[in-house]
């Protein structure tokens, strides 16, 4: 994979204000990456996704020349603070931030918060993560102060548009929710372009003791985009995470989610809705690590798959030896709208403690013919009946979005998506 190495060399060569230590970090991460290369189907945990397309295009890192005029209409969610990033470039003057939240560039974070920074970039078995460390060229550190209660969500919009040639970005987001803080953060990727692009994101989120964080991740990249993401959550004592992952975009999507329940009393709810059509391939791989006692975790993931799309859900809940009184629930449900759509679900439980409550379940089905007939027999046409049933399927997980403005945004996306969707079963 020539272009990656070429881009790394150029970056190290021309970015001379970057500290030597970071250069060294990049080189060693790249070495790690190169030893194994991109995942292939023989790798455990990666068997359902083909990444070879990423090597077929010579992406270059986004450069300062890649900032088009800021589009007049950008996706907006009502009543939010905003951090705007266009083609990888932070638009500070177009961003609005609340007090009690510090936003730093990665260089600043490295200089002032090396501990946070270094924890996020440690060598990883995920080659995309190492590649991100080697090539990180965008992203921010967002630090919510201790005791801060931020009412309006912080909407990070990462928008890709107006490309003239294939670019890639390797954003790193470092998010820290201070002790006893309460925040809602929306990590939002969207794009509109005719040119291919590749996002390789790492998001490292730390919830300090007793922090409450609502994290909504919206991935609605252009279909010319490939989106790879590694999202790691670490929860302190009694911290509470409510995460929602909505994915409708990109042709190729792979997200690794890891939740580390690292102190007692922490609880996490990580839910998601994935909707795919055409030839999209949306893959999510989730690990919940119950490391300490008295933690609970909940997962509900739903996939709605049309056309020739594929959805992959691989969920592992690992309950370590000391993690007594763990309560872990995992559910995944797939709805197939055509006979060519494919779902792969693989929920796994690994339990090394004895006093625990764990359950997992996975179902894959089609629209219920009886329900369709029931609605039709009341005068509702087939198409409407199908759409009602599909949105009914999504509702259970949609209801877990607590912020109404976020809910409205995603609900509108779902409605628009449904209007154009094919149902052939």
Partner 1 sequence: MLEIKDLHVKVEDKDILKGINLTVHPGELHAIMGRNGSGKSTLANVIAGQESYEITSGDILYNGTSIISESPEERALAGIFMSFQYPVIIPGVNNTYFLKAALNAIRKHQGKTELDAVEFLKLIRKKLAVVEMDEKYLHRAVNDGFSGGEKKKNEILQMLTLEPALAILDETDSGLDIDALKIVAAGVNNYRRDDRAIVIITHYQRILKYLEADYVHVLINGKIAKSGGENLAEQLEEKGYSWLDN
Give the H or E element holding residue 110: helix 106-112
Nearer to partner 1, 195 or 387 (CB): 387
- Distance in Å, CB of 214 to partner 1, minimum: 23
Interface residues for partner 1 in 39-98 (CB under 8 A)?
A: none
Nearer to partner 1, 194 or 377 (CB): 377
Contact, 345 vs 316, CB < 8 A? Answer: no
Query: SS3 for 158?
Result: strand
- Distance in Å, CB of 91 to partner 1, minimum: 39
Nearer to partner 1, 13 or 370 (CB): 370
- The span from the CA of 282 to the CA of 300, in Å, is 16
Nearer to partner 1, 279 or 395 (CB): 395
> What would you measure as the largest C-alpha separation in the chain, in angstroms?
72
- Distance in Å, CB of 274 to partner 1, minimum: 17
Contact, 303 vs 311, CB < 8 A? Answer: yes
Contact, 265 vs 297, CB < 8 A? Answer: no
- Distance in Å, CB of 387 to partner 1, minimum: 10
- Distance in Å, CB of 273 to partner 1, minimum: 12
Query: SS3 for 109?
Result: helix
Cβ burial of 24 (10 Å; 0-12, 13-18, 19+) is exposed
Contact, 362 vs 332, CB < 8 A? Answer: yes
Nearer to partner 1, 308 or 362 (CB): 362
Nearer to partner 1, 318 or 375 (CB): 375
- The span from the CA of 117 to the CA of 125, in Å, is 18
Binding mask 311-350 for partner 1 (x = CB under 8 A): ----------------------------------------
Question: Token digits for 34?
Answer: 């190169």
Integer-rounded Cα Rg, in Å, for the chain is 21
Q: Is position 279 an interface residue for partner 1 (rule: CB under 8 A)? A: no
130 CB-side CA count, 13 A: 18
Binding mask 358-387 for partner 1 (x = CB under 8 A): ----------xxxx-xxxxxxxxxx-x---
The residue range among 10-18, 105-113, 310-318, 391-399 that interacts with partner 1, by the rule CB under 8 A, is: 391-399
Q: Which residues sit at the interface with partner 1, rule CB under 8 A?
A: 368-371, 373-382, 384, 388-389, 391-396
């Amino acid at each position: 994979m020539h272009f990656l190495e070429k881009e790394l060399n150029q970056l190290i060569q021309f970015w001379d204000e970057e500290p030597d230590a970071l250069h060294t970090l990049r080189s060693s991460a790249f070495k790690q990456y190169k030893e194994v290369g991109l995942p292939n189907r023989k790798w455990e945990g990666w068997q359902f996704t083909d990444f070879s397309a990423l090597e077929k295009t010579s992406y270059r890192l986004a450069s300062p020349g890649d900032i088009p005029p800021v589009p007049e209409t950008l996706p907006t969610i009502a009543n939010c603070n905003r951090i705007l990033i266009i083609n990888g470039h932070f638009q500070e003057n177009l961003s609005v931030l609340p007090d009690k939240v510090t936003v730093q560039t990665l260089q600043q974070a490295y200089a002032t918060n090396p501990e946070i920074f270094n924890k996020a970039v440690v060598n990883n078995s995920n080659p995309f993560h190492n590649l991100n460390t080697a090539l990180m060229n965008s992203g921010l550190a967002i630090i919510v102060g201790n005791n801060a209660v931020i009412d309006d969500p912080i909407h990070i919009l990462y928008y890709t548009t107006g490309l003239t040639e294939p670019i890639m970005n390797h954003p790193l987001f470092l998010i820290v929710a201070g002790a006893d803080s309460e925040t809602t953060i929306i990590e939002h990727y969207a794009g509109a372009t005719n040119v291919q692009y590749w996002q390789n994101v790492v998001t490292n989120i730390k919830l300090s003791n007793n922090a409450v964080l609502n994290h909504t991740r919206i991935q609605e990249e252009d279909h010319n985009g490939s989106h790879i993401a590694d999202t790691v959550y670490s929860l302190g004592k009694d911290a509470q995470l409510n995460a929602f992952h909505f994915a409708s975009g990109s042709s190729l999507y792979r997200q690794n989610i890891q939740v580390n329940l690292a102190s007692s009393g922490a609880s996490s709810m990580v839910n998601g809705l994935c909707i795919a059509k055409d030839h999209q391939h949306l893959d999510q791989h989730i690990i919940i690590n119950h490391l300490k006692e008295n933690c609970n975790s909940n997962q509900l993931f739903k996939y709605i798959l049309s056309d020739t799309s594929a959805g992959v859900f691989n969920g592992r809940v690992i309950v370590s030896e000391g993690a007594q009184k763990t309560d872990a629930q995992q559910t995944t449900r797939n709805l197939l709208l055509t006979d060519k759509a494919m779902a792969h679900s693989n929920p796994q439980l690994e339990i090394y403690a004895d006093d625990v409550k764990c359950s997992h379940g996975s179902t894959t089905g089609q629209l219920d013919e009886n329900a369709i007939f029931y609605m039709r027999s009341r005068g509702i046409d087939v198409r409407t009946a199908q759409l009602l049933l599909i949105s009914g399927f999504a509702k259970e997980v949609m209801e877990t979005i607590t912020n109404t403005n976020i809910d409205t945004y995603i609900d509108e996306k779902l409605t628009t998506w449904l209007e154009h969707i094919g149902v052939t079963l």
